[in-house]
Amino acid sequence: MKNLLYLVLAILFSNIIEAKDITSTIEKLIEKGKLEQAENAIYQAQAEGEFSPALQIYLARIFFLKKNIKNAYETLMGIEDPADFKTRAKLLSFLLEFGDTALSLRYNDMATNILYKIYKLDPDYPLGPRSRLIALSQMEQGNYEEAKKLFEKFLAEGGNFDDIAQNYIKCLYLLSQWNEIIKNSTKILKYKEDAELQFILGESYFNMARIYLDNSMYDSALVNFNKFIQWGIPKIYLDDAYYYKGLILETLQDFKGALECYYKVLALAPPRSIYARKSRERISELEKK
């Protein structure tokens, strides 16, 4: 039994040494510019069943040096996450180099896919301004959660909020993250010419107020309805906001304030609208008191 164990260990050790010898040989051939010999050595190793990530990285490097960008890209995209730290670090470094080269050649889709692969392999790997490019790509594909994380990575690594403001806020809107949008309200105020952002902020106040109201958090709901009313955009929600504010004030026993809100609804809403009808009912009830 011991002899069998020693034999297995000896075979494994031999394979490790052999793999190291192969990669060492290929690395030296690449350094000397003997790319055809290095490529043939890799194919020979693959024919013998060796398909390690390290070999695939070298093969991609050879394609890259031969300016065969398509094959280099496809090889890199096919490499799985290496188990050992050294090979993984080498892969991440080369992916970054390739991504930057692809960007410089205006192969934008290729570049963003490569950079996204880096992010998936190691979300903490520093990408700097590249995170913004990946975020925009993810947003176009409808992957808003990923886009949000990448926009925030861009900011965490020193990016300027102004460079992503419109897209980041729209991303939060598509995720219905009203509170996150409101947290950025002071920054949104800078973009007074951007009607869409102004609309998004107003709708966020309104939607957040409704959430608080539905959860019987009247003080918080009132604060957000007041912010929305002060903001005034989108105007289509103003009569709704005054009506809900009136309900809250009634609940808080402020009947005078509630009446003022219901009369405001009548001034804003079409006479036959549901909020106009409900407001008339509330006015009639309150004025009996």
186-220 confidence digits (pLDDT tens): 999 888 889 999 999 999 999 999 999 999 999 99
Is 52 among the domain residues?
A: no
Tokens standing for residue 49: 């069943």
CATH number at residue 205: 1.25.40.10
Q: What pLDDT does 17 receive? A: 38
Count of domains observed in the chain:
1
In a domain, 228, yes or no: yes
Please state the pTM of the whole predicted model.
0.84
CA 241 to chain centre: 32
Is the pLDDT score of 9 beyond 80? no
Q: Which of 183, 182, 150 is nearest to 168 (CA)?
A: 150
Within-domain flag for 132: no
In a domain, 269, yes or no: yes
pLDDT band at 20; cut points 50, 70, 90: low
Residue 33 lies in a domain: no
Identity of the residue numbered 203: E
In a domain, 2, yes or no: no
Residue 212 maps to a domain: yes
Q: Between 2 and 175, whose confidence is greater?
A: 175
Q: Containing domain of residue 237, as a range? A: 177-289
Q: pLDDT value at position 10?
A: 36
pLDDT digits (tens, 9 = 90+) for 24-62: 889 899 989 999 999 999 999 988 888 899 999 999 999
pLDDT tens column, 243-260: 999 999 999 999 999 999
pLDDT above 90: percentage of residues in the chain? 83
Task: Tell whether 50 is covered by a domain.
Answer: no
Q: Give me the pLDDT at residue 236, please.
A: 95
The answer for residues whose C-beta is within 8 angstroms of residue 30's C-beta and 6 or more apart is: 38, 58, 61, 62, 65
* pLDDT tens figures, 91-140: 999 999 999 999 999 999 999 999 999 999 999 999 999 999 999 999 99
Specify the pLDDT at position 13. Answer: 37
A 10 A CB-CB count for 141 gives: 10
